[in-house]
Structure 1
Amino acid sequence: MSHQLPRPTLRGNHRIWQVMEAEGELAALGRLKAPRPRPGVHRFDPRCFDNEEDVLSRLALLGMARIAPVYRLGGPDAIQVHGYIEGEPLSALRPPGTALSGHELAQLVELFGRLAAVPPAAFAPVHRCPVVLRPHTTGEFLHGLVRFTRRRVYAVHRRTTGELFAALGVRPEVLAADGPLARAADRLTERPFALLHGDLHRDNLIVAEADGLLWTIDWELALIGDPLYDLATHLHLMRYPAAQENELLTRWARIVEANLPGAAAGLVRDLPHYLAYKRVQSVFTDVIRQALVVRATQPAELDEQLPRTAEMVSSALRRAARVLGLSRVPSHRSVEDAYAAWYRDPAVPARPPTPAARAPLPALAFSPAARRRRRAAS
């Protein structure tokens, strides 16, 4: 995801991009983006490629359409830059929760089909995850995601944010090796693996000025894994209206099955499990990210920041309430108070908002929305 700053700078979650005009013999390339790392960036998602350029270069060799070109500029100390896609993010035209046009939806379905057709072996030379840690089954894949969130997200920040999670009624047991998400992983249908974008949402889809088509950017979280995870991530982030979500599911199943037989197996049964994980992951990510934001806020600006933090965290808690076992989601004011108390002294134990918020963690099952999706896809 990229956030617009006064040009010529763009700030992504992992890197800062300098936008510059190509000059001299390179002028025909138009504008370019040169990356530099953001210091102190925290990881909230697994990564199996050293850099986005490796993924884009491989995709270009395979003929993937509508992705940014990568250029190497300079001699021995050459830097890799991206072609700048002139246009605006889809989110500016179709905010989350709104429907896409039929043409836009068709392009997204086509993109999923192209990803399903990409042979994972083509990325073996740039795949950096240790072989012994690479999942071989869909169950291992989801177990790995849950383990990453437990060990590399929550555990890393537990010392500074553990009491904040307690104040919000969020229990880390949901991420346990024998918790509801892990038990769901043991029941997944087997599917062949594919290349996944890993972060396919409205800010990472650019409506190009030149042709009005969707171009896909920000491949930093690309993975090799279960294609159903890419679909769940997309649905979680896009927030389609229900009717259009059902249409996408039907068309997604048809195209990925045609390009990668078996990729849509168990769709109706397994999609709710991945969606449950995405909702839980968002809670742990947003609570920690907002803690970092609040901690860096000046005292004079705290009253302005806390409502923004409460809005984001409350939204994540509402969407994950069922799998988290929250019978009562903390109010905006309760979330603000929890962060304000943590800001004053993060070492002081915080009291949960209400005993009723700590219901037993549920077994994962179909929600009414999932049953509607099942009927629509059948």
Structure 2
Amino acid sequence: MSQPLPLTTTLRGHHRTWQVLHAEGELAPLGRLKAGLPRPGVHRFDPRCFTHEEDVLTELATLGMPRIAPVYRLGPAGTRVHGYIEGAPLSAARPPGTALTDAELGQLTDLFGRMAAVSPATLARVHACPAALRPRTSRDFMRGLVRFTRRRVYAVHRPALHGLFTALRVDPVVLSPTGPLARDAALLTDRPFCLLHGDLHRDNLIVADTDGLLWTIDWELALLGDPLYDVATHLHLMRYPPAQEHALLTHWARAVDERLPGAAAGLTRDLPRYLAYKRVQSVFTDVIRQAHRVAAAPEDQREAALATAGDMVSTALRRAARTLGMGRVPSPKAVEAVYAAFSAAQAPPSAGPAPAVPAATRRGGRAAAWRRGRSHTG
């Protein structure tokens, strides 16, 4: 790189902060570029099979995968940067809950088909998981997901947030080796493994300015595993209208089976099992994320942070209520009250006497927030 690239803007992703740079001089044909910087202290909520996203993108480029960001090595150190896809997230034109066009649906099912054609052996050179620990069956794959959420998500945050989970009546037994998700895993049909994106939602699909086609970004959570998990994750995040969800599944099954025979086996029976896991995973993820966001919010933004926590966590609880065994789901206001009480209990001594999380938010408390008139069934 013969000259510096002027910074044009900074984008904040969950795992990395991206500096968007404008290429000049001899690099001008590359257009704008993205350089990723790790965000320290970011919590992991999903397993990974690859150490660096750039490894995945580079391998996929050699395989001819279309509409993914190119990776360039620049400068004496060979710093890897991404080509910037000029366009807008699909969510801007098609927010969650709205239907995609037939053309967009076709591009997505083509993407799933292309990923089904990428076998684990093809990416063996950049696969970071020790061979002895890699799942061999769909049952082992789902057990591994549940185990990761139990050990690397809940257990890591349990010392600080156990009281919050208790107040919200989230019983971690749902993640146990004998819990409902583990029992679901034991019933899975075996499917051949392939490349999974792991986070395919509307913000990771870019509608290109040039031709309106979809480009797929953010391969940070790419996995090698059961293809049904990827489409379950996609459905969980996309929030299709019911009729289009059915159409997507029909086209998905045809596309993946053409490239990887058996990839859609047991679809009707097993999709609800993966969706149940995704909903439970979202509960644990959202409870933890919102606790950290409320704690980090400045005083003048605390009320808004509490309201956001109430809405997001109540929605996650409602969607997972059946698997969690919750008879009644706390309303957003009830969840907000739980977070407010928990946040006050965590206040430093200099802020004055900090009350314990009150009986109103403790399991079995006679005035528990989830029991108030604002609660509803789900």
Same fold at TM > 0.5: yes
Q: How does 1:250-329 map to 2 (within 5 A)?
A: 250-329=250-329
Alignment partner, residue 73 of structure 2: 72
SS of residue matched to 1:8: strand
**Amino acid in the other structure paired with 1:195:** L
Greater shift in the superposed pair: 305-314 or 276-285: 305-314
Shift of 1:333: 1.5
**Amino acid in the other structure paired with 2:296:** A
Q: Is the 8 A contact 1:150 1:176 kept in 2?
A: yes
CA distance in 2, matches of 1:88, 1:18: 17
Q: Is the 8 A contact 1:163 1:348 kept in 2?
A: no
CA distance in 1, matches of 2:62, 2:48: 21
Alignment partner, residue 356 of structure 2: 348
Shift of 1:100: 0.3
Alignment partner, residue 42 of structure 1: 43
C-alpha distance 7-161 of structure 1, shift in aligned 2 (>3 A): farther
Q: How does 1:42-191 map to 2 (within 5 A)?
A: 42-75=43-76, 77-191=77-191
CA distance in 2, matches of 1:354, 1:158: 21
**Amino acid in the other structure paired with 2:61:** A
Q: Is the 8 A contact 2:8 2:22 kept in 1?
A: no
CA distance in 2, matches of 1:70, 1:288: 33
Greater shift in the superposed pair: 81-90 or 301-310: 301-310
**Amino acid in the other structure paired with 1:255:** A
Shift of 1:301: 2.3
Q: Is the 8 A contact 2:199 2:221 kept in 1?
A: yes
CA distance in 2, matches of 1:301, 1:19: 28
SS of residue matched to 2:18: strand
CA distance in 1, matches of 2:180, 2:216: 34
Q: Is the 8 A contact 1:46 1:148 kept in 2?
A: yes
C-alpha distance 69-340 of structure 1, shift in aligned 2 (>3 A): same
Higher relative contact order (CA 8 A, sep 6+): 1
- Residue 19 (structure 2) pairs with residue 11 (structure 1): no
Aligned sequence identity (%): 68
**Amino acid in the other structure paired with 1:57:** T
SS of residue matched to 2:72: strand
CA distance in 1, matches of 2:54, 2:304: 38
**Amino acid in the other structure paired with 1:344:** A
Q: Is the 8 A contact 1:146 1:277 kept in 2?
A: yes
Q: Is the 8 A contact 2:8 2:21 kept in 1?
A: no
Q: Is the 8 A contact 1:334 1:353 kept in 2?
A: no
Q: Is the 8 A contact 1:169 1:353 kept in 2?
A: no
SS of residue matched to 1:56: helix
Q: Is the 8 A contact 1:192 1:263 kept in 2?
A: yes
**Amino acid in the other structure paired with 1:180:** P
Structure-1-length-normalised TM-score: 0.91
Q: Is the 8 A contact 2:35 2:81 kept in 1?
A: yes
C-alpha distance 141-44 of structure 1, shift in aligned 2 (>3 A): same
CA distance in 1, matches of 2:55, 2:313: 34
- Residue 216 (structure 2) pairs with residue 210 (structure 1): no
Greater shift in the superposed pair: 223-232 or 118-127: 118-127
Deviations 1:252-286 (A, max 9, x none): 11111111000000000000000000000000000
Q: Is the 8 A contact 1:191 1:262 kept in 2?
A: yes
CA distance in 2, matches of 1:143, 1:264: 19
CA distance in 1, matches of 2:304, 2:247: 40
CA distance in 2, matches of 1:162, 1:72: 45
CA distance in 1, matches of 2:30, 2:171: 51
Shift of 1:7: 5.5
Structure showing greater Rg: 2
Q: Is the 8 A contact 1:47 1:222 kept in 2?
A: yes
Runs of 4+ in structure 1 off by over 4 angstroms are 353-358
Deviations 1:26-49 (A, max 9, x none): 100100001111011110000111
Deviations 1:60-102 (A, max 9, x none): 0000000000000012x22100000000000000000000001
C-alpha distance 183-207 of structure 1, shift in aligned 2 (>3 A): same
Greater shift in the superposed pair: 221-230 or 245-254: 245-254
Shift of 1:354: 7.1
Alignment partner, residue 227 of structure 1: 227
Unaligned segments of structure 1, at least 5 residues: 1-5, 359-378
Deviations 1:94-132 (A, max 9, x none): 000000001100100100000001122111111111112
**Amino acid in the other structure paired with 1:308:** T
**Amino acid in the other structure paired with 2:363:** P
SS of residue matched to 1:71: strand
Q: Is the 8 A contact 2:50 2:127 kept in 1?
A: yes
Alignment partner, residue 4 of structure 2: none
Structure-2-length-normalised TM-score: 0.91
Greater shift in the superposed pair: 278-287 or 289-298: 289-298
**Amino acid in the other structure paired with 1:52:** E
C-alpha distance 352-206 of structure 1, shift in aligned 2 (>3 A): same
